Amino acid sequence: MNTAKRDWQALLTRHEMLLLYVLIAEWLFFYFAGTTTNRRGVVVGFGTLDRQFDILRHSCEIGLLALALTPVIITAGIDLSVGSLLGLCAILFGQLWHDGGLPIPVAAGLTLALGALAGGLNAALITALRLPPLIVTLGTYSLFRGLAEAITHGSITYTDFPETFLFVGQERWLGLPTQAWIFFVVALAVWLLVHRTTFGRTFRTIGLAPEGARYAGLPVARRLALVYVLAGLIAAIAAIIYTARLGQAKADAGTGYELFAITAVVLGGISIFGGTGSVHGTLLGVAAIAVLKNGLACLPVVMGMNAAEEMSGLLTGALLLLALTASVLPKILSHVRSRPHAPAP
Amino acid sequence: MSSPLLALSQLTKSFGGARALRGVNFDLQAGEVHALLGENGAGKSTLIKIVTGAHQPDGGTITVAGQIVAGLTPAAAHALGIACIYQQPALFPDLTVAENIALRLEAGSALRRVDWPARRARAHDLLARIGASIAPTAEVRTLSMPEQQLVEIACALGAGARIVIMDEPTASLTHQEQHLLYAVVRDLRAHGVGVIYISHRLEEIFMLADRVTVLRDGQSVGTHPVDTLTEAALIRLMVGREMTQIYPPAESVPGDTLLTVCDVGCAASGVHHVSFDVRAGEIFGLGGLVGAGRTELARVLFGLTPADSGEITLAGRRLSLGSPQEAIAHGLAYVPEDRRRHGVVLDLPIAHNVTMAIHRPLFPTTWLRFGAERSLALEFIRDLAVKCAGPAAPVGSLSGGNQQKVALARWLATKPRLLILDEPTQGVDVGAKGEIHRLIRRLAKEGLAVILISSDLPEVLGMSDRIGVMAGGTLTAILPGHSDAHTVMAAALGTPEKGAA
Amino acid sequence: MKTYFRELSVAAALGVVLLALAVFAPAFYQPQPLLSLLTREAPTLVVACGMALVIISRQIDISVGSQFSVCSVCAGLLAARGWPIYLVLPASAACGAFLGAINGALVAGLRLPSIVVTLATMVTLRQGLNLVRQGEFVNLPDGIQWLGLGQTAGQWLIVLTALGLLVAFGLALRHLAAGRLVYAIGSDAEAARLAGLRPQLSTFLVFVLLGALTGLAALLNVAQSPQVQPLSGSGLELKVIAAVVVGGVAISGGRGNLWGAFAGLLLLACVAPALTHLHVEAYWEKAIQGAIILLAVVADGLRSRKGGHR
Residue B413's φ and ψ, nearest 5 degrees, are -65, -25
Taking Cα atoms as reference points, which of B43, B495, B41, B488 lies closest to residue B230? B495
Please report, for chain A, the start and end positions of each structural domain, with discontinuous segments joined by +.
56-254
Tell whether C201 lies on the interface with A, counting CB pairs under 8 A: no
Interatomic CA distance for residues B150 and B201, integer angstroms: 19
Q: Distance between CA A343 and CA A26 in Å, rounded?
A: 42
Q: Which of C3, C175, C254 sits opposite B113 (nearest CB)?
A: C175
Alpha-helical regions (H) of B246-398: 294-301, 324-329, 350-354, 359-362, 370-383
- Nearest by CB to residue A199, choosing from B304, B328, B366, is B366
User: CB-side exposure of B427: number of CA atoms within 13 Å?
Assistant: 15
Asked if A150's CB is within 8 angstroms of C284's CB, the reply is: yes
Q: Which of B88, B94, B145 to mutate to test the interface with C (most CBs of C within 10 A)?
A: B94
Contact A217 B325 (CB under 8 A): yes
User: What ipTM does the predicted assembly reach?
Assistant: 0.85
pLDDT band at A3 (very low <50, low <70, confident <90, very high): very low
Distance of residue C159 Cα from the nearest chain B Cα, in angstroms: 26
Q: Which of residues 106-135 of C touch A (CB under 8 A)?
A: 106, 110-113, 115-117, 119-128, 130-131, 134
Pick from A272, A306, A344: CB nearest C115: A272
Residue of B nearest to A201 (CA): B352
Nearest to B348 among A197, A208, A340 (CB): A208
Characterize the bridge pairing of strands B257-266 and B309-314. Answer: antiparallel
Chain B contact for C195 (CB, 8 A cutoff): yes
CA distance A52 to chain C (A): 24
Residues of A in contact with C289 (CB under 8 A): 142, 146
CB contacts under 8 A, B 110-149 vs C, are 110-114, 116, 137, 139, 141-143
Reported as a single tens digit per residue, the pLDDT across C183-231 is 999 998 888 877 778 889 999 999 999 999 999 999 999 999 888 888 8
Yes or no, beta carbons of B139 and C188 under 8 Å apart: no
- Mean pLDDT (chain A) is 86
Q: CA-CA distance, A81 to A66, in Å (whole number)?
A: 12
A-chain residue closest to C305, CA distance: A129
Q: Which residue of C has its CA nearest to B54?
A: C194
Mutation target to probe the C interface, by most C beta carbons within 10 A, among B91, B141, B172 is B141
Per-window interface: A 298-327 vs C, CB < 8 A: 306-307, 309-314, 316-318, 320-321, 324-325
Q: Which chain C residues touch A143 with a CB distance below 8 Å?
A: 286-287, 290-291, 293-294
* pLDDT value of position A332: 66
- What's the domain count of chain C? 1
User: What's the pLDDT at B432?
Assistant: 80
What domain range is C257 assigned to? 30-304
pLDDT at B195: 93
Chain B nearest-CA residue for C195: B104
CB contact under 8 A, A341 and B71: yes
Instruction: Determine whether the interchain pair A266/C127 forms a contact, defined as Cβ–Cβ distance below 8 Å.
Output: no
Please report the pLDDT score of residue C266 as a whole number: 94
Say if C22 is an interface residue toward chain B (CB within 8 Å): no
Q: DSSP label at C15?
A: H
B363: closest CA of chain A, how far (Å): 7
Task: Tell if the CB–CB gap between A139 and C297 is shorter than 8 Å.
Answer: yes
Q: Taking residues C265-283, what's their average pLDDT?
A: 87
| pLDDT at A2 exceeding the cut of 80 | no
Tell me which chain B residues have a C-beta less than 8 angstroms from the C-beta of A212: 341-345
Q: Is-contact C100 C67, C-beta < 8 A?
A: yes
Contact list in B for residue C204 (CB cut-off 8 A) is none
Residue B242 identity: E
* Residue of higher predicted confidence among C104 and B458: C104
In C, minimum Cα distance to A307 occurs at C131
Task: Collect all residues of chain C within an 8 Å Cβ-Cβ radius of residue A126.
Answer: none
C298: domain CATH number is 1.10.3470
Residues of chain C numbered 59-88 and touching chain A (CB < 8 Å): 60
Q: Which residue has the higher pLDDT, C277 or B194?
A: B194
C120/A320 CB distance under 8 A: yes
For B467: left if phi > 0, alpha if psi spans -120 to 50, otherwise beta; the answer is: beta
Q: Give the pLDDT confidence of A292-316 residue by residue, as tens digits.
A: 888 888 887 776 666 777 887 888 8
Indicate the pLDDT class of residue A41, thresholds 50, 70 and 90. Answer: confident
CA distance A322 to chain B (A): 24
Using a CB-CB cut-off of 8 Å, the residues of chain C touching A140 are: 290, 294
Cα(B165)–Cα(B194) distance, integer angstroms: 8
Q: What is the pLDDT of residue A328?
A: 72
Q: Which chains touch B (3 or more CB pairs under 8 A)?
A: A, C
Which of A31-40, B54-63, C167-176 is least confident? A31-40
The SS3 of residue A155 is coil
Per-residue confidence (pLDDT) for residue A335, from 0 to 100: 55
Q: What is the pTM of this model?
A: 0.84
Per-residue pLDDT averaged across A201-211, rounded?
93
Chain B: nearest CA to C183, how far in angstroms? 8
* Phi, psi at B279, each rounded to 5°: -100, 155
Q: What is the DSSP letter of A4?
A: H
pLDDT score at A97: 94
Q: What's residue C54's pLDDT?
A: 96
The C-alpha atoms of residue A256 and residue A81 are separated, in whole angstroms, by: 10
Residue C180 in this model has a pLDDT that exceeds 90: yes
CB A130 within 8 A of CB C301: yes
pLDDT at C305: 65
CA distance C179 to C174: 6
* Confidence band, pLDDT 50/70/90 cuts, at residue C121: very high
List chain B residues with pLDDT less than 50: 1, 242-243, 496-501
Structural contact between residues B500 and B490, judged by C-beta atoms closer than 8 angstroms: yes
What is the C-alpha end-to-end distance of chain C, expressed in Å?
22
Chain C positions in Cβ-Cβ contact with residue A270 (cut-off 8 Å): none
Whether C243 shows a pLDDT value over 50: the answer reads yes
Domain covering B257-492 assigned CATH 3.40.50.10420 in the classification = no
Domain positions in chain B are 257-492
| CA–CA distance, B496 with A84 (Å, rounded to integer) | 68
For residue B352, what are the CA distances in angstroms to A98, B229, B370?
Answer: 50, 54, 10
Q: Which residues of B, range 440-499, sit inside 8 Å of C by Cβ?
A: none
Tally A–B CB contacts below 8 A.
Answer: 80
Alpha-carbon gap, residue B64 to B8, rounded angstroms: 9
- Cα–Cα distance for residue pair A218/B284, rounded to 1 Å: 27
Higher-pLDDT residue of B426 and C129 is C129
* Nearest beta carbon to residue B345 from set A197, A208, A219: A208
Q: Which chain A residues are Cβ-neighbours of B301 within 8 angstroms?
A: none
Instruction: Choose the weakest-confidence range: A191-205, A306-320, C264-278.
Output: A306-320
Q: How far apart are CA C270 and CA B463, in angstroms?
A: 71
Cβ proximity of B350 and B381 under 8 Å: yes
| Chain C residue numbers touching A318 (CB-CB < 8 A) | 124
Share of chain C above pLDDT 90, in %: 52
pLDDT in tens, A117-172: 999 999 999 998 888 898 899 889 989 999 999 999 878 899 999 999 999 888 88
Contact residues, chain A, for C127 at CB < 8 Å: 309-314, 316-317
pLDDT at C173: 94
> Can you spell out the DSSP letters for C72-137?
HHHHHHHHHTT--HHHHHHHHHHHHHHHHHHHHIIIIIS---HHHHHHHHHHHHHHHHHHHHTT--
